[in-house]
Structure 1
Amino acid sequence: MKIAVVGGGSTYTPELAEGFGANAKALGIDEVVLVDPAADKLEVIGPLTRRIMRRQGSDARVTWTSDLDRGVDGAAVVLLQLRVGGQDARIQDEAFPLECGCVGQETTGAGGLAKALRTIPVVLDIAERVRRIAAPNAWIVDFTNPVGMVTRALLDQGHRAVGLCNVAIGFQRRFAALLDRAPEEVTLDHIGLNHLTWETVVRLDGRDALPDLLEQHREALAEEVDLPPEVFADGLVPSYYLRYFYGHDAEVERLRTAPSRGQEVARIEAELWDLYQDDTLDEKPEPLSRRGGAYYSQAAVDLMRSLLTEDGAVHAVNLRNRGFLPYLPDEAVIEVSATVGAEIEPAVTTPLNARQRGLVSAVAAYEELGVAAAVHGGERRVYEALLAHPLVGQHDLAEGLTRRLIATGREHLPWA
């Protein structure tokens, strides 16, 4: 079986290589192809990936190419982990909203929309190539942010796609450590939209361990997601991305005085590239843990196993709503714990409360408009999406952000 990784020249790839190497025989992976337009990066990441997979006991063939068609030809799974515009574009996404007093972040608000606008058309072009020349019924697994919007665009065009995020697996590992249990003994009810989720149940030995976790560790968990403990009063654990909504103004002030996450990642990537030059390196180096994407390889490999074998295991994925959340349109894409078998079906039993439903509904409406802007273009569509976003929601802000977004991102927006 052939696996293609589009964006294979990323500093993330050694994380993925470790998971592929450890599971290649069990999954039947006999070829991994890294695809990236940056041939110079592939010349470093490709051999490193091969060495990591060999260290993990895999003899699968590892190749790399800048030819997309060659890379995805015959692939059973195509994993997307690309960043259109690189870290420079991310840093712009984080900066221009602050000029309007809005949070600058790469997956939500105006910065998230900017990323979606330049990313979705590229992803859809890749997906069309996959449809034509990959293996029959090939899966597209999207790790490219903003995952929910990218996944919706793929599904809207009829592609066999599912979105993947590492937030849920990160919480699973954290909760398992607090409970002094193995991660595989703990399962979560994870629900919401991509980067707008809550953990509503922590299943362990047939019971819900979340009430005990909150009673014993509420302060520590609140500190980890950078939110006040009072936000946990409803008995649920919010994703750390909720701080942009529940603590917006404080986040704006913090972001105005501190280096942006994009700047921090750029420094980490420079450090990683220095390490990757060592042609004896055959394991992922420690700085990669600070890059982001913790447990990404495990989440990706586990999901691929279920997609290919239809084993019915539970994974946190992005998929069509199809009536599961009755307050959202069927076409919306939600992020939820789901059983992955012949069909992918939500496996969450605890509903969100009114406050959470309201926020989810508002952001889902923004995402619908944002995908339309990415697919069809147009300044008015960008404005409408921003006006709908709960972190914007005012004409003057939406108008100013629209102008700045187009000015900073024009090179990646052909319609502009």
Structure 2
Amino acid sequence: MRLTILGGGGFRVPLVYQALLDDHGKGRVTHVVLHDLDPARIEAIRRVLAEQAMGVPDAPEVSVTTDLDEAVTGAQFVFSAVRVGGLEGRVVDERVALEEGVVGQETVGAGGIAYGLRTLPVALDLARRIAALAPEAWVINFTNPAGLVTEAMSAYLGDRVIGICDSPVGLGRRVAGALGVDPATVWLDYAGLNHLGWLRGVRVDGHDLLPGLLRDDGALTSFEEGRLFGAEWLRTIGCIPNEYLHYYYFTREAVAAARAASRTRGALLIEQQSRFYSHTGGSALSAWDSTRLERETTYMAENREAAGAGDRTSRDLESGGYEQVALALMRAIALDERATLILNVRGRGAIDGLGPDAVVEVPCFVDANGARPLSVDPLPGHALGLVASVKAVEQAVIEAAETGSRAAALRAFATHPLVDSVGVARRLLEHYERELPQLGYLRGRSQKTDAR
């Protein structure tokens, strides 16, 4: 089986390859094609993969290319993990938002909108090309903002594009650990959008263990989300939110912590990863692994500081995230190994009030026919309202990318729950347009804006 990775020079590619190395079952991936536009980055990752494969006699073959048509043609699965504008673009996303006093995280609020606006034209081109060259391929999307990008690509790929994220599976694993149960035995009642979801139930043999967890302060604050949100707030809402809900529930604290930090998350990652990508002597795998650990240790550091949550524990740092979801998804489809996974798919009414083609993040049944969303309990009122609001923003971003409408882009900024003024939204859009050349496709700029 052949897997093509778009964004093959990306830092987290070795996680995917390690999952493939650990898989020795029938029908496994035997050939991995890395595609990237940056030959130096792709060569750095190829060296890491070569070290990972040492001593593994049946290691999947790895080839590299900068030619998209060559990469896609003949692929059974295409893993999309591209970053348009690189980490330098992320720095702009974060800085511009923080200068206006609003959240600038790369997938949340103003920063997420800017990231989506520059990413979607590329993602749409990729979807059209895959549909033409590999119409039978399944596309696994990890390009952020994952739900937004998956929904846009589904216009050309239909149900053959499926979005994945490691946040829900990580949350489920940590909650299972706090409960002292095997994660493989747990049913997670989880629903929402990507980076905007809630865990409402944790069932083992039909019994919901979440109410007991919410009553136990010690167990509840033994894992990352419990410390981040606090036991009192989790009991107040009666569920456990995805970690990214911290930006919504504690907006002022999150913005203040980010503005007080010496540098943004994107700037920190540039510093961390530049050391790896410029590494020339010694073990490439060791250099990558030490950088990965540093990356994971500093993840959401400002939010943890704002919440007084302390450092991440060894349990929080455990691997087994999106690469395991991707492997399970591929095996379920290719080999009809039926599985239930939390994925980003077209909802078909899974969440009340959203259209059938709106991509949501819910448990799905997966087999050779693809992924189908399962029925979930209704979201509580405040959560449903937030989901509906953010979905409208996502669809405005898609409209802007498909039509070039600057008005749609402005509407996305102005109606996002984390942007508190139309005036702020106008300034955000104007500033992003000045600093991000990828937004040059937007039309309908006013004379006042054009004159600047």
Shift of 1:286: 4.0
SS at match of 1:157: helix
**Who is 2:441 aligned against?**
414
* Residue in structure 1 matched with residue 328 of structure 2 by the alignment: 302
Change in CA separation of 1:281 and 1:337 when aligned onto 2, cut-off 3 Å: same
Q: Which residue of 2 aligns with 1:5?
A: 5
- Aligned residues between the structures: 415
Partner of 1:83: 83
Q: Which residue pairs with 1:52 in the alignment? A: 52
Coordinate RMSD, CA, aligned: 2.3
Distance 1:291 1:374, change over 3 A: farther
Give the unaligned 5+ runs of structure 2. 300-318, 444-452
Does the Cα contact within 8 Å between 1:201 and 1:350 map onto a contact in 2?
Answer: no
State the SS of the aligned residue for 1:11. Answer: coil
For residues 192 and 14 of structure 2, the distance between their equivalents in structure 1, rounded to whole angstroms, comes to 30
1:101-250 pair list within 5 angstroms = 101-134=101-134, 136-159=135-158, 160-216=160-216, 217-221=219-223, 226-232=228-234, 233-250=236-253
Q: CA deviation at 1:221?
A: 4.5
Partner of 2:306: none
Asked if 1 retains the 8 angstrom alpha-carbon contact of 2:65 and 2:71, the reply is yes
TM-score normalised by the chain length of structure 1: 0.93
Secondary structure of 1:122's aligned partner: helix
> 2 CA distance for matches of 1:158 and 1:411?
24
- Which residue identity is paired with 1:72? V
Find the aligned partners of 1:131 and 1:189 in 2 and give their Cα distance: 33
- The correspondence for 1:336, drawn from 362, 387, 391, is 362
Letter paired with 1:130: I
CA distance in 1, matches of 2:32, 2:86: 23
Residue 277 of structure 1, CA deviation: 5.3
Q: d(CA) in 2 for partners of 1:410 and 1:281?
A: 35
Matched letter for residue 254 of structure 2: E
**Separation in structure 1 between the aligned mates of residue 430 and residue 36 of structure 2, nearest angstrom:** 31
Percent identity for Structure 1 against Structure 2: 33
Q: Distance in 1 between matches of 2:56 and 2:186?
A: 26
Please report how far the alpha carbon of residue 71 of structure 1 lies from its aligned counterpart in structure 2 after TM superposition.
1.1
Q: Any conservation in 2 of the 1:367–1:385 contact (CA below 8 Å)?
A: yes
Residues 339, 365 of structure 2: 8 Å contact kept? yes
Task: Tell me the amino acid that sits aligned with residue 126 of structure 1.
Answer: L
Deviation string 1:215-269 (CA, Å, 9 cap, x unpaired) is: 2223344765622433312321001111111111111111111121112222321
Q: CA deviation at 1:358?
A: 0.7
* Contact 2:34-2:65 within 8 A present in 1 as well: yes
Q: How does 1:309-320 map to 2 (within 5 A)?
A: 309-320=335-346
Cα contact 1:25–1:58 (8 A) shared by 2? no
Name which of 372, 382, 407 aligns with 2:409.
382
Once structures 1 and 2 are overlaid, which stretch shifts more, 171-180 or 92-101? 171-180
For 1:78 and 1:55, the matched residues in 2 are separated by 27
Q: Is the 8 A contact 2:399 2:405 kept in 1?
A: no
1:321 aligns with 2:347: yes
| 8 Å Cα contact 2:171/2:225 also seen in 1 | no
After superposing the two structures, state which structure 1 stretch, 263-272 or 377-386, moved more.
263-272
- Give the secondary-structure state (helix, strand or coil) at the position aligned to 1:336: strand
- Mind listing any 5+ residue stretches in structure 1 that lack a counterpart? none
Q: Secondary structure at the match of 1:329?
A: coil
Q: Distance in 2 between matches of 1:28 and 1:222?
A: 34
Which moves more between the two structures, 399-408 or 28-37? 399-408
5 Å-filtered alignment, 1:396-411, equals 396-411=423-438
2:97–2:104 contact (8 Å) kept in structure 1: yes
Note the alpha carbon deviations across 1:376-409, whole angstroms, 9 max, x for none.
2232121111122111152212111111121121
- Aligned counterpart, 1:291: 295
The aligned residue for residue 400 of structure 2 is: 373
Change (3 A) 1:193 1:336: same
Give SS of 1:285's match.
helix
